[in-house]
């Protein structure tokens, strides 16, 4: 099976009350760990590549690694551009083998977001590629862009029908209180998501797939492990997994997870070096890192996404 778009994945997910995991990939071990978990649980996968990942690993290397994953696993896998910053980057990914792109116009004034998103949709659809747009702004850090909590804004449900109709997007990322990175809430602050906004959006867009960014849970066990083995991540807090599971049973069909993979991988490598201080063969520390990614993705599929057996 070649790379697929997310069209069938999202239709099945919507109807089945589950979500597909969109995992950020930057190198071979991350891809192998995610795909091993997908294979074990027979789950569909979205592998997503950010602007930073393309700059780090090179577009072509990532495409070839993902193509190898598709061939080796036989799973339905979509290759997605995460947070496409402009038309040119989206076009490069559409021309260069991706099956899905996100155009992130969420920081633009509404009419500019509509115009840019529509331009990407027109080009993508003419090439058989699907598009995710975004309305509302998440807090947190991604690449060089950092959004303060005060500048973040929830999605306005009054805008979503107009946005989807005028742009033709295939899915929509919304802001309901998730945020990027490992510091999503202040210590003592009660984590909460605006399920009322999600419900209102899905009423306005019946059957339409919604996307949640910034959906890592920052599982305390991994933060503790990092801190135990010489790291320092005070006050890292994520989205409780039961809230994400609830969202997955609603209109949310794609849940983005990057930070939890980073934490699992970093904890494994830190632990390895403390326990084996004289190791200098990268295979010795990348193997447990890859296993940690596999374990984390398995956990997400079972606990948050509900997409085991849905490939
Ligand atoms: O939302 C952003 C993702 O976590 C990707 O992060 O831009 O550092 O690759 P990155
Ligand atoms: P996290 O930082 O919560 O993993 O979010 C990742 C994300 O939204 C990628 O687009
Ligand atoms: Zn994101």
pLDDT at 149 > cutoff 80: no
Question: What whole-number distance in Å separates Cα of residue 49 and Cα of residue 24?
Answer: 6
Mean pLDDT confidence for 43-70: 98
pLDDT for position 251: 98
Q: Is the CB of 215 under 6 A from ligand 2?
A: yes
Atom of ligand 1 nearest to the CA of 53: 9
DSSP category for residue 264 = H
Near ion ligand 3, which residues have CB within 5 Å? 213
pLDDT for position 19: 98
Residues with catalytic roles: 82
Mean pLDDT confidence for 209-215: 98
Question: What whole-number distance in Å separates Cα of residue 3 and Cα of residue 69?
Answer: 10
- Residue 252 token pair: 């949310």
Give the count of beta carbons closer than 10 Å to the beta carbon of residue 96: 14
Q: Which ligand is nearest to the CA of 256?
A: 2
Q: Which ligand is nearest to the CA of 181?
A: 2
Question: What whole-number distance in Å separates Cα of residue 262 and Cα of residue 30?
Answer: 9
Question: What whole-number distance in Å separates Cα of residue 156 and Cα of residue 209?
Answer: 17
pTM: 0.96
Q: Is the CB of 143 under 6 A from ligand 1?
A: yes
Atom of ligand 2 nearest to the CA of 257: 4
CB 23 within 8 A of CB 46: yes
Residue (of 1, 134, 22, 9) closest to 80 by Cα position: 22
Largest CA distance in the chain: 60
pLDDT at 152 > cutoff 90: no
Question: What whole-number distance in Å separates Cα of residue 156 and Cα of residue 247?
Answer: 18
Q: Is the CB of 262 under 6 A from ligand 1?
A: no
pLDDT at 63 > cutoff 80: yes
Q: Which ligand is nearest to the CA of 214?
A: 2
| DSSP E strand boundaries for 35-176 | 45-50, 77-84, 100-103, 130-135, 140-142, 145-147, 171-174
Mean pLDDT confidence for 186-196: 93
Tell me the percentage of the chain whose pLDDT exceeds 70: 96
Tokens 């997605």, located at residue:
80
CB 24 within 8 A of CB 81: no
DSSP category for residue 211 = E
Substitution candidate for ligand 1 out of 21, 59, 143, 181 with most atoms within 8 A of CB: 143
Q: Is the CB of 216 under 6 A from ligand 1?
A: no
Q: Whose CA is nearest to atom 9 of ligand 2?
A: 256
What separation in Å is there between the alpha carbon of 143 and the centre of ligand 1? Answer: 6
pLDDT at 139 > cutoff 80: no
Q: Is the CB of 272 under 6 A from ligand 2?
A: no
Q: Is the CB of 179 under 6 A from ligand 2?
A: no
Q: How many residues belong to the chain?
A: 311
- Which residues fall within 8 angstroms of residue 309, CB to CB, at 6 or more apart? 41, 42, 43
- Residue 149 token pair: 């909590």
Atom of ligand 1 nearest to the CA of 26: 9
């Amino acid at each position: 099976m070649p790379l697929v778009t997310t069209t069938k994945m999202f239709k099945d997910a919507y109807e089945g009350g589950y979500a597909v995991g969109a995992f950020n990939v930057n190198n071979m071990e991350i891809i192998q760990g995610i795909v091993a978990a997908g294979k074990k649980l027979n789950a569909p996968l979205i592998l997503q590549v950010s602007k930073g990942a393309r700059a780090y690993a090179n577009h072509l290397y990532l495409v070839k690694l993902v193509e190898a994953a598709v061939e080796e696993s036989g799973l339905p896998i979509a290759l997605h551009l995460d947070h496409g910053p402009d038309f040119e980057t989206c076009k490069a990914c559409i021309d260069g083998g991706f099956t899905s792109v996100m155009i992130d116009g969420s920081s633009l004034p509404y009419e500019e977001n509509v115009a840019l998103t529509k331009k990407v949709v027109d080009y993508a659809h003419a090439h058989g590629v699907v598009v995710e747009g975004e309305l509302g702004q998440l807090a947190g850090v991604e690449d060089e862009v950092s959004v303060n909590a005060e500048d973040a804004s929830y999605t306005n449900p009054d805008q979503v029908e107009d946005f989807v109709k005028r742009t033709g997007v295939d899915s929509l990322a919304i802001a309901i209180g998730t945020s990027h990175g490992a510091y999503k809430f202040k210590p003592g602050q009660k984590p909460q998501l605006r399920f009322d906004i999600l419900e209102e959006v899905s009423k306005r867009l019946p059957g339409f797939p919604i996307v949640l960014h910034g959906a890592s849970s920052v599982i305390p066990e991994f933060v503790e492990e990092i801190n135990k083995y010489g790291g320092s991540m005070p006050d890292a807090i994520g989205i409780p997994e039961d809230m994400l599971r609830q969202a997955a049973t609603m209109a949310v069909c794609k849940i983005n997870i990057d930070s939890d993979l980073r934490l699992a991988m970093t904890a494994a490598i830190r632990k390895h070096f403390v326990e084996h201080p004289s190791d200098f063969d990268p295979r010795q520390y990348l193997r447990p890192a890859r296993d940690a990614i596999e374990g984390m993705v398995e956990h997400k599929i079972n606990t948050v996404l509900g997409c085991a057996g849905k490939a």
